[in-house]
Amino acid sequence: MTIAARLLTAASLLLTAASGHRDAASSRSHEARPYPFEIASNKPFVQVCAEGSVIAKECADRLGLERRDETQQHLGAGAGVAVGVATTSGVTLSVAGDTLRAPEFRVFTLAHVAPYEGRRVDGLLGDDFLSRHVVEIDYAHRGFRLIDPGHYAPDPRAVVVPITFDHGLAVASGAITTPDGAALDCRLVIDTGVRATVILFHPFVVERRLLASQPTLLAGTIGGGAGGETIGDIGRLASLRIGGMSFDRPTAIFSRDTVGVFAGHDQDGIIGGELLRRCKVTFDYPHQLLILELYAAQPAAFEYDMSGLFLVARGDDFQELVIQSVAAGTPAADAGLKRGDRIVAIDGRGGAALALEPVRELFRKPGVHRLDVARGGERLSVRLTTRRLV
């Protein structure tokens, strides 16, 4: 069985199934041709073909794949929800003309991840694919290329960052400067599968007393992963440096997770798509290099949500916009919005206008909005005035 799917490239790959078929060709025929992708939650999704399996339990069920050896495990980001993990064999994955076969793939549910993405997510694929290629991701032009490692040389103007690997994660040396002037070296995972600018792990936050350096903090839900909902505190750094590239006043998340990826001691944090998409990013796993080429046109500043809401999308078509959490002391809290409220219109517009990604972008800017909200059997009209919170 062959399906077309969307796939998130780089340190982790997310697959969302769609109908159709795309013939596979040799990878060499695609070395010079960009392959298109979509961006959602700062993450690039590209069309692939999967023969036999992808690893999400929901997709495996649709395809009738056999699973075996299921165990309960704690994995990924989140609050530490135990997930049933099984295996399946006979897997072939094709992307941009290249084919990956593996003796077996892990299978576990991603149904709880999809609402955070606003789209169905059918799988994750990581270093077993990336280790075979140089993968160039051009966020500005929404295209990526697979390049033969033997024929690749970085642009002389690019910033070249050595990376090491830890359980398939790409790790680079970096440094942060806190608002009170403390300069701290750190080891940072590079992951296009993370929406934020940078998430600093709980042990590092506690050991370096990072919360005490923040003049303003916003506490609440920061996302969700394979391990469930994850919470943290949002603030800013004076600067963040990776390789020879420095970024001023980036937003930063200080994780509160005590289990899962964000509770790890081996690295200090994760750099995600909010920072990476400011560059053309090339992962050269074969030579253990990350190559960054900063775009000339840059956003004026790093911003975070200005409403105090964390929103998810539910329903078969992901058109039900639901409030996952409301941060205390924010415009959303002042407006009386509550967890579980469903937003049915914003400024008089409903339906497709309530897609998760555009609404998140809308609430990253100052403004005044009228929200029509369903709460149980009630309909409410709420005035929400967004403002910079960190």
**239: CATH:** 2.40.70.10
Do 334 and 353 fall into the same domain? yes
Q: Flag whether 303 is in a domain.
A: no
188, 172 in Cβ contact below 8 A? yes
- Strand pairing partners for 383? 370
Q: Whole-angstrom Cα distance, residue 72 to residue 251?
A: 35
Residues 6+ apart with CB under 8 A from 318: 114, 115, 118, 119, 120, 355, 356
Specify if 180 maps to a domain: yes
> What's the pLDDT at 81?
59
> In this structure, are 33 and 15 located in the same domain?
yes
Per-residue confidence (pLDDT) for residue 302, from 0 to 100: 94
The verdict on residue 140 lying in a domain is: yes
One domain, residues 170 and 98: no
Instruction: Looking at the structure, tell me whether residues 6 and 143 fall in a common domain.
Output: yes
Among the three residues 270, 294, 318, which one is the final residue of a domain in this structure?
294
Q: From CA 11, how far away is CA 284, in angstroms rounded?
A: 11
Number of Cβ atoms within 10 Å of the Cβ of 174 = 22
Is residue 121 domain-resident?
Answer: yes
Report how far residue 218's alpha carbon sits from residue 327's, in angstroms, rounded to the nearest whole number: 7
Question: 306 near 389, Cβ under 8 Å?
Answer: yes
Q: Are strands 143-147 and 134-138 parallel, antiparallel or unpaired?
A: antiparallel
In angstroms, the first-to-last Cα distance of the chain is 49
Give the residue among 6, 123, 105, 14 at the shortest CA–CA distance from 62: 123
Residue linked to tokens 């900063």: 294
* Residue 304 in domain: no
Q: What does the pLDDT read at residue 310?
A: 95
Q: Are residues 142 and 160 in the same domain?
A: no
H or E element that contains 372 = strand 367-375
CB environment 259-273: b (16+ within 10 A), e (fewer)? bbbbbbeebbbbbbb
Range(s) of the domain holding residue 178: 154-294
Mean pLDDT per 10-residue run, the chain (390 residues)? 36 38 35 66 60 59 78 62 75 66 73 82 69 86 87 93 89 97 96 91 97 95 77 96 94 91 92 94 93 88 95 89 96 97 95 89 96 95 97
Boundary (domain end) residue, out of 228, 259, 294: 294
- Residues 101, 174 within the same domain: no
> Residue 58 is encoded by which pair of tokens?
């929901």
Domain-embedded: residue 333: yes
Tell me if 45 sits within 8 A of 8, measured CB to CB. Answer: yes
Q: Look at residue 301 and tell me if it is in a domain.
A: no
Predicted local distance difference test score (pLDDT) of residue 2: 32
Do residue 285 and residue 372 come from a single domain?
A: no
Opening angle at CA 388, ends 383 and 390, nearest 5: 135
- In terms of Cβ atoms closer than 10 Å to its own Cβ (0-12, 13-18, 19+), residue 374 is middle
The CATH number linked to 344 is 2.30.42.10
What is the reported pLDDT for 57?
78
Would you call 214 helix, strand, or coil by DSSP?
coil
Q: At 206, is the secondary structure helix, strand, or coil?
A: helix
178 shares a domain with 120:
no
pLDDT value of position 177: 98
Task: Please report the beta strands in 148-276, taking only residues with DSSP state E, as ranges in sequence order.
Answer: 159-166, 169-177, 183-190, 198-200, 218-225, 228-236, 239-242, 245-248, 251-255, 269-271
Is-contact 253 196, C-beta < 8 A? yes
Question: Is 137 within the bounds of a domain?
Answer: yes
Same-domain pairing of 197 and 276:
yes
119 and 195 assigned to the same domain = no
How many folded domains does the chain comprise?
3
Pairing of strands 183-190, 269-271: parallel
- Give the per-residue SS3 of 121-137: CCEEECHHHHCCCEEEE
CB atoms within 10 A of CB 100: 15
Domain identity same for 364 and 249: no
User: Residue 348: exposed, middle, or buried by beta-carbon count in 10 A (0-12, 13-18, 19+)?
Assistant: exposed
Of 150, 167, 182, the residue at which a domain comes to its end is 150
Residue 233 and residue 119 share a domain: no
What is the dihedral sign for C-alpha 145, 293, 195, 333?
A: negative
